[in-house]
Amino acid sequence: MTLVIDQLRADGTPDADAIDAFCSQSFPIIEGPHATFAWRGHADAVYLRHFIYGLPSEMPFTHIADTDFWFCVVEVPARSRIEYKLNVVRGDHREWLRDPLNPKRAHDPFGANSVIYGDGYERPNWCEHDPEVRPGTLSEHRILQTPFGEPRHITIYKPARFVETGRYPLLVVHDGGDFLKYAAMKTVLDNLIHRDEILPLIVCFTHPGDRLVEYPDNEDHISYIADVLLPKLEAKLPVYGTPATRCLMGASFGGVAALSVAWRRPGVFGRLLLQSGSFAFSDIGDHTRGPAFDPVVKFMNALRADPGRPSDRVYLSCGMYETLIYENRSIVPLLQSTGMDLRYRWAPDGHNWENWRDRLREGLSWLFPGHLWMTYE
């Protein structure tokens, strides 16, 4: 990259035409383990605001004097996927922007970030629409009587070639609307079922009220899932109705919710899929994650003191760039000590929906392997 920057100057003088030509390509530029970010425009300072725990949260761009061109070179490990924004400073004004030179976007409930793919990362083809795949169906329903004192909305997925006389495993997904919108989960299910990588599943996507209140070991939520929702689903849908064919799934606070339901109602859900769980705990003194985590820490401290056996088989994943990587790694030996069959995976990614999307194939195929895996593994 240094040679390229040198080429932007002709005889020591900034060359606007060379900068125009250089900026016509897509950024960031990946060169082996390094990525070059660029910004063009008036600014007093420009920073790369990334979401990688362990590195300085803002990394400064270098300005080429007498031009409007700024650049920043960052080491990006192979197969990484990193979301970021640019922090552009003009006087006292700071503005967070998506990278105008990078067309790649990653969306979440708060908007969108720019995203960079490290050398070797590929967006999974099984999360892309395949016109050859026969799709499953989604239908909307309401649970009128709940422990919350108000109705709850659920979305039911039935696989392609669904038959009422059949029998299916049941997957219950916390934050179901977000998994459908931001993790392409219907497309993923359609593709993996079509490819025989997972068994045909019936999936209940739940939609929470205030998730920060309902999810961390909340008795109303536990009762809603285990005592209200599950019996209604099994009464209305052709599911097997055994622990080994029931799975609870969640990411972030949803992972806490799934684990707490399984811990409070042991023997009900024989499968768990936990992604980047917000498993904060304290060995001594107070935690530092803010008041929303108070009930999480209370729950996790209780679980660590007496883990029991919440489930039989657990798939656990976390991004290595997350602040929660320590807690997720720490819970692995604890869960293994209960005798549960556990598979743990970390990924060079952060706390985001596309990280969770990218882990769905391995997690679902390990918990509910289709005939392809049962034949060849």
Averaged pLDDT, 188-192: 98
Quick one: how far is CA 13 from the chain centroid?
A: 47
Query: 375 or 292, which is more confident?
Result: 292
Confidence of residue 5 (pLDDT cuts 50, 70, 90): low
CA of 240: how far to CAs of 102, 165, 171, 234, 247, in Å?
47, 11, 11, 8, 12
List the domains of the chain with CATH numbers: 2-117 (2.60.40.10), 125-376 (3.40.50.1820)
Res. 105: pLDDT tops 90? yes
Res. 281: pLDDT tops 60? yes
For residue 23, the model assigns a pLDDT of 80
Rounded CA-CA distance 319/345 in Å is 9
Averaged pLDDT, 257-286: 94
Mean pLDDT of the chain: 93
Count CB neighbours of 67 within 10 A.
15
Rounded CA-CA distance 294/287 in Å is 8
**Contact in structure between 133 and 190 (CB atoms under 8 Å):** yes
Confidence of residue 56 (pLDDT cuts 50, 70, 90): confident
What string of H, E and C letters represents the secondary structure of 246-289? EEEEEECHHHHHHHHHHHHCCCCCCEEEEECCCCCCCCCCCCCC
For residue 295, the model assigns a pLDDT of 95
Q: Is 204 helix (H, G, I), strand (E, B) or coil?
A: strand
Q: Give the orientation angle of helix 253-264 with respect to helix 294-305, to 10 degrees.
A: 40
For residue 54, the model assigns a pLDDT of 83
Instruction: Provide the residue type at 154 as one letter.
Output: I
Q: Give the orientation angle of helix 325-337 with respect to helix 294-305, to 10 degrees.
A: 30
Averaged pLDDT, 186-191: 98
For residue 21, the model assigns a pLDDT of 81
Res. 18: pLDDT tops 50? yes
Query: 275 or 291, which is more confident?
Result: 275
Averaged pLDDT, 182-200: 98
pLDDT tens string 210-240: 999 999 999 999 999 999 999 999 999 999 9
Confidence of residue 290 (pLDDT cuts 50, 70, 90): confident
For residue 376, the model assigns a pLDDT of 46
Averaged pLDDT, 76-86: 95
Confidence of residue 25 (pLDDT cuts 50, 70, 90): confident
Rounded CA-CA distance 265/259 in Å is 10
Rounded CA-CA distance 244/198 in Å is 15
Res. 374: pLDDT tops 60? no
Residues of the chain above pLDDT 90, percent: 85
Joined together, the tokens standing for residue 334 give: 């604890």
The secondary structure of 139-165 as a DSSP string is EEEEE-S-TTSS-EEEEEEE-TT--TT
55 φ, ψ (degrees, to nearest 5): -105, 160
Residues of the chain above pLDDT 70, percent: 94
Query: 4 or 371, which is more confident?
Result: 371
113, β-bridge pairs: 106
> Do the strands 13-14 and 58-60 form a parallel or antiparallel pair, or are they unpaired?
unpaired
pLDDT tens string 127-156: 999 999 999 999 999 999 999 999 999 999
Rounded CA-CA distance 221/70 in Å is 50
Res. 365: pLDDT tops 70? yes
For residue 134, the model assigns a pLDDT of 97
Is this prediction's pTM over 0.85? yes
For residue 4, the model assigns a pLDDT of 53
Res. 377: pLDDT tops 50? no
Averaged pLDDT, 172-197: 98
Rounded CA-CA distance 271/364 in Å is 10
Query: 56 or 296, which is more confident?
Result: 296
**Contact in structure between 124 and 135 (CB atoms under 8 Å):** no
Confidence of residue 13 (pLDDT cuts 50, 70, 90): low
